[in-house]
Amino acid sequence: MVSYEAERTVLREGRVVLWEVLPQDAARIADGGTAGLSWIDGLPGDGTVDAAGIVLKAAIAGTYVPGWGVYCVLRAEDEVAVGGIGFHGPPLDGEVEIGYDLSVSARGAGWATDALRLLSGWALGRPGVGRAVATTEPSNTPSQGVLSRAGYSRVSDRDGLWAYELAAAPE
């Protein structure tokens, strides 16, 4: 289910809610804040903070595209944030790149897999998006497991990183 709360995209499926980080939220997260959310480990993880900084820079540069930034991963039951997931930018040549970061105490419970399935499905349902990709360090076997469980397949490496792809269903 997709809803829009004051221009914010919110994706919900099962036990996961993806809450879009708007530029004003990104500024708060990039400055070490919580954006008004309750985080499982007190604060967002480093990857989520870095992604918020990218959203903020894009907003300042005038290149921010709503929907194609970062989302906080929330537990649906209590809306506690367990991590972040998002795009490296808007679609380019029919492709989007996705990255994710979970709080330490949320790892190993399937949150990244559920969030990746939800965000990938949303992205691949958008006009002009034919594939989603993600990269991981060769030694990051937990992330590789997330990608495999979410339906991604290994493709050619990119800049020394292992690359995975999920293609849109044929129409």
- CATH no. for residue 88? 3.40.630.30
Sorted by sequence, the CB contacts under 8 Å of residue 42 that are 6+ apart come out as none
| Four-residue CA torsion sign, 67, 130, 126, 45 | negative
Output the pTM of the full model: 0.93
pLDDT at res. 169: 81
Number of domains the chain is built from? 1
The Cα–Cα gap between 82 and 39 comes to 6
pLDDT at res. 153: 97
pLDDT at res. 166: 98
Range of the domain at 110: 2-167
pLDDT at res. 170: 76
Regions of the chain short of the pLDDT cut 70: 1-6, 171
The percentage of the chain sitting over the pLDDT mark of 70, rounded to a whole number, equals 96
